[in-house]
Amino acid sequence: MDVILPARRRGARYLLATLLCIVTTLATAPLRELLDLANIVMLFLLTVFVSAAWLGRGPAVMAAFLGVALFDFFFVPPHLSFAVADAQYLVTFAVMLAVGLITSHLTALLSERTEEARAREHETHALYDLARELGSALAVPQVTEIARRFLDRLTLDMTLLVADTSGKTVSFQEYGGRHLNELGRNFARSAYDRATIVEADSLAGMGMAIAFLPLVGPTQVLGVLALAPRSDDVEQLRSQRSLLEAVASLLAITIERVRYADSAQHSELQVAAERLRTSILSSLSHDLRTPLTSLVGLADTLAQRQPPLPESACETAGIIRDQARAMHHLLSNLLEMARLQAGNMPLNKEWQAFEEVVGSSTRLLAGVLAGRRVEIELPPDLPLVFFDAVLLERVLCNLLENAVKYSRDGARIRLVGEIREASLEIAVDNDGAGFPADRTEQLFDLFARGEQEPAVAGTGLGLAICKAIVVAHGGTIVAENRPGGACVRFTLPLGTPPAMEDEESP
């Protein structure tokens, strides 16, 4: 590698080396009588050394040969002739040539290394600057601009392809102004998929990107850096490969950081929105519940007045109370649905006995269920199940209330539990008209009703809430007709309950 002077001045360097040799000869010639030949050899070796250090390897080698020739011609007897009187000078020539060649080689090597080190330092410095600039980047377009400026200095054009993994298949968004053609995109995809550099030398000279570097970040491949050299020099890319790889990895880290910053900001917004929703829901719940509580209580007060009101007034008070309670029921369902639909209602799941929610639901609905024959069949040794008791109680209450609503007085309502493979299946059925045959699927949609013309009070919220709760628990729910009635079945996945040490018998 010619490092000291630019290539176009190569001829001049050989000329300079020649001149140096001639100057040495001219300067030494008058001292021929005073100096020993061995010392004159030293002066010629010095010339070779200077040539090597200053002009590089080629001129130094030439200086070594020229030096030997000049020494022979002017200084070794017979003078002004290449003939050698004493054969021992041949040894001198050989040593002189060897020392000259080795010196020139070592010196040139040293300066090459120095130059390499300087180049590497330059590279490192450039990368450091790039890293610092990227450190302040906040968005991908900014990153692109910084990378474009850097690669511009290397006479490279670039396209940055950032992978978007949010969809089902990976798509790329291109940055950097130059758009890739179909072929280029295919190469880029292949580099992304395999996470290795893809080089397309065959495309060189067509102004197209020919090197595709995957942006391999700490956790994932983030995209591809496509490079097109402005000259058609394929070698240029090869020689700078390690630098370019470093650039690619810096870009990857930056893009990943920018993304995390984005998603952190996004989730912060989400948390704020969630907090707002929760506070609206809870204040709504409080503001609507308070007057309903007054209504129920005041209606009761009227009904229990001493001395008693006329019977019809008592009856009216009772109706007011029942209607207020019904409205509260509706309100609870609506609020519950709003919470469930937000999709991130935390479930308060615990390992517990399913019988308990069955017992508490039937106790809560004791008044409603009074006119029906309720049969409960649960397997005797049901394992603990992992669920949110409050929500499951709501599911059972809704199903039992529906069963009451759509059956006649004295009808049978059954709640049956069975273990099927890895889940607990609960069926609530009632004797009655059943569901409309073609609409059992839509029953679980919000505000769907069993009958087109609602003859029975209700909003169609109940089953939608049941479905949301069951699905949140990882189960399924279906409605079906059976001979002489309707049935809703839902499942809850059974897991492995935590172990328990049994106490020793006393």
Partner 1 sequence: MSETQTHVIVVEDEPQIRRFICDALQRDGCASFPAGTARQGLDEAATGKAALVILDLGLPDMDGLDFIHNLRTWSAVPILILSARSAEREKIAALDAGADDYLCKPFGIGELLARVRALIRRHWQSGENHPQHRFGDVEVDLLRHIVSRNGEEIHLTQIEYRLLAVLLANSGKVLTHRHLMHEVWGPGRSEQAHYLRIYVGRLRQKLEIDPAQPQHILTETGVGYRFQS
Q: Does 326 bind partner 1 (CB under 8 A)?
A: no
d(CA 138, CA 403): 58
Question: Which tokens go with 201?
Answer: 């030398």
Q: Does 353 bind partner 1 (CB under 8 A)?
A: yes
- The 277-316 site mask, x for binding partner 1 (CB under 8 A), equals --------xx--xxxxxxxxxx-xx--x-x----------
Q: Does 497 bind partner 1 (CB under 8 A)?
A: yes
d(CA 62, CA 70): 12
User: In whole angstroms, how close is the CB of 279 to partner 1 at the nearest point?
Assistant: 13
Distances in whole angstroms, Cα of residue 301 to Cα of each of 297, 305, 309, 327, 504: 6, 6, 11, 19, 55
For partner 1, the closer CB: 209 or 400: 400
For partner 1, the closer CB: 245 or 401: 401
- The 393-432 site mask, x for binding partner 1 (CB under 8 A), equals x---------------------------------------
Instruction: Estimate the crossing angle of helix 57-70 against helix 88-135, to 10 degrees.
Output: 160
Q: Which residues are registered as beta bridge partners of 487?
A: 429, 480
Q: Does 503 bind partner 1 (CB under 8 A)?
A: yes
Could you give the dihedral angle defined by the CA atoms of residues 430, 433, 439 and 444, in that order, rounded to the nearest 10 degrees?
-30
- The 358-397 site mask, x for binding partner 1 (CB under 8 A), equals xxx-xx------------x-x-----x---xxx--x----
For partner 1, the closer CB: 307 or 483: 307
Q: Does 317 bind partner 1 (CB under 8 A)?
A: no
Q: Does 473 bind partner 1 (CB under 8 A)?
A: no
Q: Does 324 bind partner 1 (CB under 8 A)?
A: yes
Q: Which of 201, 232, 315, 350 binds partner 1 (CB under 8 A)?
A: 350
Q: Which of 262, 356, 445, 451 binds partner 1 (CB under 8 A)?
A: 356
Distances in whole angstroms, Cα of residue 386 to Cα of each of 28, 282, 389: 103, 27, 9
User: In whole angstroms, how close is the CB of 463 to partner 1 at the nearest point?
Assistant: 19
- The 330-349 site mask, x for binding partner 1 (CB under 8 A), equals --x--xx-----------x-
User: In whole angstroms, how close is the CB of 487 to partner 1 at the nearest point?
Assistant: 20
Q: Does 498 bind partner 1 (CB under 8 A)?
A: yes
Exposed, middle or buried: residue 418 (CB in 10 Å: 0-12, 13-18, 19+)? middle
For partner 1, the closer CB: 339 or 467: 339
Within 10 A of 171 (CB to CB), how many other CB atoms are there?
A: 12
User: In whole angstroms, how close is the CB of 354 to partner 1 at the nearest point?
Assistant: 10
User: In whole angstroms, how close is the CB of 494 to partner 1 at the nearest point?
Assistant: 14
- Rg of the chain's alpha carbons, rounded to an integer? 46
HSE, CB side, 13 Å, CA atoms: give it for residue 44.
32
Within 10 A of 429 (CB to CB), how many other CB atoms are there?
A: 24
The 3-state secondary structure of 25-80, one letter per residue: HHHHHHHCCCCCHHHHHHHHHHHHHHHHHHHCHHHHHHHHHHHHHHHHHHHCCCCC
Q: Counting every residue, how long is the chain? A: 506
Total residues binding partner 1 (CB under 8 A) = 49
From 42-50, 182-190, 251-259, 356-364, span contacting partner 1 (CB under 8 A): 356-364
Q: Which residues are registered as beta bridge partners of 492?
A: 424
d(CA 413, CA 403): 7
> What does the binding site for partner 1 look like in residue numbers (CB under 8 A)?
285-286, 289-298, 300-301, 304, 306, 321, 324-325, 328, 332, 335-336, 348, 350-353, 355-360, 362-363, 376, 378, 384, 388-390, 393, 497-498, 500, 503, 505-506
